[in-house]
Amino acid sequence: MAQHGKRTRAAREAVDNKQNLSVEEAVSLIKSNATAKFDETVEIAVNLGVNPRHADQMVRGVVGLPNGTGKDVRVAVFARGAKADEAREAGADIVGAEDLMETVQGGKIDFDRCIATPDMMPVVGRLGKVLGPRNLMPNPKVGTVTMDVADAVKAAKGGEVQFKVEKAGVVHAGIGKASFDEGKLVENVRAFVNAVSKAKPAGAKGTYMKKIALSSTMGPGVTVEVSDAVTE
């Protein structure tokens, strides 16, 4: 326990007074402090000047990270017939219709992304209270309600990340693993930040991006200079 505390203290001391860094500096610092016995996830949190309670200030979207997330994403697809077959061939982990709805209603949610064909939405719609709070509800705006289930499954498996602003005005996501090369993490950070920047809603007033922070699963966070992170 003492060793764990010592490691945590050393990591915090390493980032003390090091704020508003360039993306490269922040990534380097996060990687050097990711000393857990597992491959930590590198996480990003973006504080936005929006109030998501207002419909015209909602921020949501999807971005394909150029170097993937390093995470094995489990995908569930609501589809029937030929579309169900397409989903299985594309690598979906779980495929079903009413049977899958009943499984989810029973409390078993063994997936990270949920995709549905449009004709299945009356079935999926009954799961709004279960899937909605987990940001798993299929939505045409982010390409998870689609007839092209094969492409949607491949995109989800290939490093596509969905984002949605929370009540406090924060968007967060995992954008890679600590084992990634620094250059690949930097590319992923900028891709994510640019996607959030482009998703600026019409109702946003004043400063849109207030703060960007990076951290690893077990490590302390550092802030990134917003102007350095936004490149598009």
For the stretch 36-55, pLDDT in tens is: 999 999 999 999 999 999 99
Report whether pLDDT(2) > 50: no
* pLDDT band at 16; cut points 50, 70, 90: low
Domains of the chain (ranges, CATH numbers): 18-69+161-229 (3.30.190.20), 75-157 (3.40.50.790)
pLDDT at 122: 96
Least confident span in 15-24, 90-99, 170-179: 15-24
Q: Do residues 29 and 185 touch, judged by C-beta distance below 8 A? A: no
Q: Which long-range contacts (CB under 8 A, 24 or more apart) does 51-55 make?
A: 51/169, 52/165, 52/166, 52/167, 52/169, 53/167, 54/203, 55/203
pTM for the whole structure: 0.81
pLDDT, greater one: 6 or 131: 131
Mean of the pLDDT values across residues 194-202?
A: 95
